[in-house]
Structure 1
Amino acid sequence: MDYTISPRIEDFRVRIARFVEDELLPLEEGRAAWDAHGNIALDYLEPLREKARGEGLWCLQLKPETGGQGLGKVGMAVCYEEMNRSIFGPVVFNSAAPDDGNMMVMEQACTDAQKAQWLAPIVTGQVRSSFAMTEPHPGGGSDPGMMLTTATKKGDKYVIRGRKWFITGAEDASHFILMARTSDDPRRGLTAFLHHRDEPGWRIDRRIPIMGPEEHGGHCEIVYEDMELPADRIILGEGMGLKITQMRLGPARLTHCMRWLGLAKRCLEIAQEYAQNRHGFGVRLSDRESIQIKMGDIAMGIEVGRLLVMKAAWELDRGSFARKEVSMAKIHVANLLHKAADTAIQINGARGYSQDTVLEWIYRYARQARLVDGADEVHQMVLNRHLTDQKRDFWKWEPAEA
């Protein structure tokens, strides 16, 4: 097994690391660069995005013909981890959710005309986007088959009615991917549509207050009231919405894990620095065996997460859906991030609980990791289904072709 990365990927990693060190980490230290929701303020963001474009560090996840760098999932795993050493990192490089996942699925599934109208402005950074799928009870959440939002065909248009909630980025988004039910067919009943924020027939009911910091545009509850959309807004074809969710959510879950590994490493970095310099009762904190055990445990957990993520990224790059591998990575890395933040706060004591470091930001953010894109329990059930179907082949190594 070859765990080396290409010189090109390493070049991107090194340049991203330098950008984060020189441009982003200093901004975290002063609250002037933060907006009211715990993200980078737009006045600071736009100049940094322009600088990232100029250095060729923009949209690594997309094909060159789309405006990206064509790094593939393995390259993304390396670089996204490096980006999220800073809490501001992903959005600066146009690799943050939900735009990241939306751009990748639109690149893969949209027509050329749709890409020109709906994808290109997100790629250039002119607009932000949102993915409107999740609904309040009794609608669809982790199970899209429960979706209640409907798209009823009337003449050459579709009329949309329904309610969505926890729609990330909706308040700042201009371009939306909307999932709605067009029939009761269990496999071909959902359809994906494109719409613009300025079109009539929908509204944001509220920006939902949450425990943690927010992406730009927050997490919103949306109401669709007889919104009319033409048939050319459909992505991939009527009834192909479930396929769109599969194409989008698997890679998006994994890119979350890539970024979370960067945050987990940052937690350990802050804990190490403090432990090496803090003395108590005549002993340096880092010399205490109890601290060394905590540090070693988190370091091992991070490396396990990196291996799980890289295995899943490799599977995706070779054309697999990697459902089993993505679920394992999602469960492990989400829990790891929470544990890393909690451990680092404990080692830092009151300093960790304060806003003198980004640890409290990461801790609040980390709790959502075990819920977004499928709760732990959902992914554990997915793994059990694979285990039931595959039995001992669940752990089978793939032999190379002779």
Structure 2
Amino acid sequence: MDFALSPEIDAIRLRIRAFVADHILPVEADRSAYDEHDNITEEALQALRAKARAAGLWALQMPAERGGMGLPVVGMAACYEEMNRSIFGPVVFNSAAPDDGNMILLNKVGTEAQKDRWLQPIIDGTVRSSFVMTEPAPGSGSDPAGMMATRAEKKGDRWVVHGRKWFITGAGAAEHFILIARTSDDPRKGLTAFLYHRDQPGWRIERRIPIMGPEEHGGHCELVFDGLEIPEENVLVKVGDGLKATQIRLGTARLTHCMRWTGLAKRSLEIAQDYISERRAFGSTLAEHESVQTMMGDAAMQIEIGRLLTMKAAWKLDQGDFARKEVSMAKVVVADALQQAVDTAIQLNGARGYSKDTPLEWIYRYARQARLVDGASEVHKMVLSRALAAEGQDFWSWGA
């Protein structure tokens, strides 16, 4: 692959960089722009979204004919990194989870009617969405095919859903939902993806689960299904293709997390570099101390390793490959790199880093989930181990 960005993509990247610096970072610095869950308030968000639309920087991952920018995955990687220089960046450009992954899935596999009904409002920013898969024990987590307990049974021309889900990101604010439920006991074709609207009866939000870190809009919720009825036309892909839909969504969604996390990791070192360049101790700036240089250099190296893995996976996705190994490697490495970068930045900033005078403590709390969401690091390493056992020396193939 060629690591040089096309002039068109690089121009968009630089426009996003300037927009973040000029419009989003000043809002991030204003504590009144934060809601009770440490996210941007709706008022501040809508004002910034209007500016992003006016600047032609909206829904980078969606086709131009539907109001997006139609970037390839490589272009997304470069631009998502820039937008997450700010903790508020991705949601301003309509490129934040879970809407980001849901839009990509619906655009890939939805019928035209489903795209008009369920996708377009998310692209337009008039509704939010949620992906409903994870369940409390003994239900599905890292093994949905084997452990999914929520069931949808066909009754007449409708599917009736019973079960329980939890840690469903964004559910408290979502109107459009993609639900994964069991429709048979077939080990490969036992799951089906369904679309439903917030206003439909037969389900409820049991609670918004308090978490350690700052929350996405709508939080992380526990849902109960006690007779939700879904018509046949709201089956996504085909009956029995729920696992396929999940894999399609999570492949790119995991990588877009990595794209955004590299931006947060770089921001963490940026804050650290600014501080150590000015702060003096024992007759010199902190930046002149060898121990500090070692910490900064190692964190910067780990970020670059993660960026390269992310870009390789993005390139392979653009070639039509599933890039399963590359996505798993990027997910593990970038999650660790983000944790290391922000921990290093807090350590070097001392009490200032632990305070709310910088966004470092926000990033630190957010970063801890990176090794858990969309597949724990241990699960991805298990996937890599199985690939190594199956492929042998070809695991490291130079081919596309």
TM-score, scaled to structure 1 = 0.98
Corresponding letter in the other structure for 2:297: G
Distance 1:3 1:229 in 2: 46
Cα drift, residue 51 of structure 1? 1.0
Cα deviation 1:41-65 (Å, max 9, x = unaligned) = 1000001111111111100001112
Q: Which residue of 2 aligns with 1:285?
A: 286
Q: Which residue of 1 aligns with 2:379?
A: 378
Distance 2:43 2:348 in 1: 34
Q: Which residue of 2 aligns with 1:87?
A: 87
Cα drift, residue 66 of structure 1? 2.4
Distance 1:325 1:65 in 2: 30
Distance 2:26 2:207 in 1: 34
Cα drift, residue 2 of structure 1? 1.8
Cα deviation 1:77-117 (Å, max 9, x = unaligned) = 00000000000000000000000000000011111111111
Q: Which residue of 1 aligns with 2:216?
A: 215
Residues 264 and 337 of structure 1 are in contact (CA less than 8 Å); yes or no, is this contact kept in structure 2? yes
Q: Which residue of 1 aligns with 2:2?
A: 2
Corresponding letter in the other structure for 1:243: K
SS state of the match for residue 61, structure 1? coil
Equivalent residues in 2 for 1:193-208, closer than 5 Å: 193-208=194-209
Corresponding letter in the other structure for 1:295: M
Equivalent residues in 2 for 1:383-402, closer than 5 Å: 383-398=384-399
Q: CA RMSD in A?
A: 0.7
SS state of the match for residue 356, structure 1? coil
Cα drift, residue 67 of structure 1? 1.9
Q: Which residue of 2 aligns with 1:118?
A: 118
Cα drift, residue 148 of structure 1? 0.5
Cα deviation 1:271-299 (Å, max 9, x = unaligned) = 00000000112221110000011111111
Cα deviation 1:15-55 (Å, max 9, x = unaligned) = 00000001111111120111111111100000111111111
SS state of the match for residue 224, structure 2? strand
Corresponding letter in the other structure for 1:62: M
Corresponding letter in the other structure for 2:17: A
Distance 1:306 1:111 in 2: 34
Distance 2:322 2:287 in 1: 43
Q: Runs of at least 4 residues of structure 1 off by over 4 A?
A: none
Distance 2:44 2:253 in 1: 26
Corresponding letter in the other structure for 1:350: A
Q: Which residue of 2 aligns with 1:48?
A: 48
Distance 1:2 1:30 in 2: 40
Flag structure 1 segments of 5+ consecutive residues without an equivalent: none
Matched pairs, number: 399
Q: Which residue of 2 aligns with 1:134?
A: 134
Corresponding letter in the other structure for 2:43: D
Cα drift, residue 70 of structure 1? 1.0
SS state of the match for residue 321, structure 1? coil
Distance 1:96 1:264 in 2: 17
Identity over aligned pairs, percent: 66
Equivalent residues in 2 for 1:233-248, closer than 5 Å: 233-248=234-249
Equivalent residues in 2 for 1:294-333, closer than 5 Å: 294-333=295-334
Residues 99 and 122 of structure 1 are in contact (CA less than 8 Å); yes or no, is this contact kept in structure 2? yes
Residues 66 and 107 of structure 1 are in contact (CA less than 8 Å); yes or no, is this contact kept in structure 2? no
Q: Which residue of 2 aligns with 1:184?
A: 185
Residues 74 and 314 of structure 1 are in contact (CA less than 8 Å); yes or no, is this contact kept in structure 2? yes
Distance 1:151 1:386 in 2: 33
Cα drift, residue 167 of structure 1? 0.2
Distance 2:111 2:70 in 1: 19
SS state of the match for residue 71, structure 1? coil
TM-score, scaled to structure 2 = 0.99
Corresponding letter in the other structure for 1:42: E
Corresponding letter in the other structure for 1:311: K
Cα drift, residue 5 of structure 1? 0.5
SS state of the match for residue 131, structure 1? strand
Distance 1:323 1:66 in 2: 28
Residues 267 and 344 of structure 1 are in contact (CA less than 8 Å); yes or no, is this contact kept in structure 2? yes
SS state of the match for residue 178, structure 2? strand
SS state of the match for residue 102, structure 2? helix
Cα deviation 1:212-246 (Å, max 9, x = unaligned) = 00000000000000111110110011111011001
Residues 39 and 88 of structure 1 are in contact (CA less than 8 Å); yes or no, is this contact kept in structure 2? yes
Distance 1:228 1:308 in 2: 42
Distance 1:65 1:194 in 2: 23
Flag structure 2 segments of 5+ consecutive residues without an equivalent: none
Q: Which residue of 2 aligns with 1:100?
A: 100
Distance 1:396 1:117 in 2: 42
Distance 2:29 2:129 in 1: 29
Distance 1:122 1:87 in 2: 21
SS state of the match for residue 340, structure 2? helix
Distance 1:2 1:378 in 2: 30
Cα drift, residue 254 of structure 1? 0.2
SS state of the match for residue 62, structure 1? coil
SS state of the match for residue 216, structure 1? coil
